[in-house]
Structure 1
Amino acid sequence: MALCGLLLTLLVAALHAYFLVLEMFLWTKPLGMKTFRNTREKALATRVLAANQGLYNGFLAAGIIAGLVLAQPVLVTFSLVCVVVAGAYGAYSVNRRIFFIQALPAILALLLRTAHM
């Protein structure tokens, strides 16, 4: 159970590092536009906003990784809760898919981590 919680936590961190790359560096590239279903014009018009979003996703990944490396479970939990809140808000305000991609893995990681404690 503890290993599953750790692996899921690492997956959430990896996803958010990937979101950083997509939003900061690939937003106006074919992969970024396809992933977020953007036209070239919309991607160009929103690239600064997307980069800001990507930076925040990077902070979430960094919080999880720093918490794991420094053996600070409170930091890991806080970061995962932030991911859940961001994913729930994204699902509400942008697209329901975001809940399943972002919030659900973090919820599962929190549940598995809590079961281990």
Structure 2
Amino acid sequence: MTMLANVLVGLVAALHLYFLVLEMFFWTKPLGRKVFRLEPEFAEASKTLAANQGLYNGFLAAGLAWGLVAGKVDVQLFFLGCVVVAGVYGAATVGKKILYVQALPAALAMAAVLAS
């Protein structure tokens, strides 16, 4: 079970690295605009906010990686909890898809960590 938990935590960390790259570097590019369904004008006007959001996703990924490398279950659970809360908030304020893309993988990882 520990191996599954580690893989799921690693997957959540990788997702947040992907979000970092999309939000910080591809927000105004075709890939970023496609993923987030953005009009070019809006993407350009909001790119600084998106970069800030991407940085926060990087902090989540770094915290999850730290928890994995150090074998600290409490750190993993803290950062997974942060991801779940962010995902639920995003689903409530932006779109339901965030619940499945962000919160669900983190909740599954959290359950696996608790079970291991």
TM-score normalised to structure 2 length: 0.98
> 2:77 touches 2:110 (CA, 8 Å); kept in 1?
yes
Find the counterpart in structure 2 of residue 59 from structure 1: 59
Find the counterpart in structure 2 of residue 100 from structure 1: 100
| 1:64-103 mapped onto 2 (5 Å cutoff) | 64-103=64-103
1-structure distance, mates of 2:87, 2:80: 10
Among all aligned residue pairs of Structure 1 and Structure 2, give the percentage whose two residues are the same amino acid.
Answer: 58
How many angstroms does 1:5 deviate by?
1.3
Q: Which residue identity does 1:43 align to in structure 2?
A: A
Give CA deviations for 1:46-91 in whole Å, capped at 9, x if unaligned.
1011001000000000000011112221111100000000000000
- 3-state SS of paired residue (2:91): helix
In the alignment, structure 2 segments of 5+ residues that lack a partner are none
> 2:73 touches 2:113 (CA, 8 Å); kept in 1?
no
RMSD of aligned residue pairs (Cα, Å): 0.6
Stretches of 4+ moved more than 3 A in 1? none
TM-score normalised to structure 1 length: 0.97
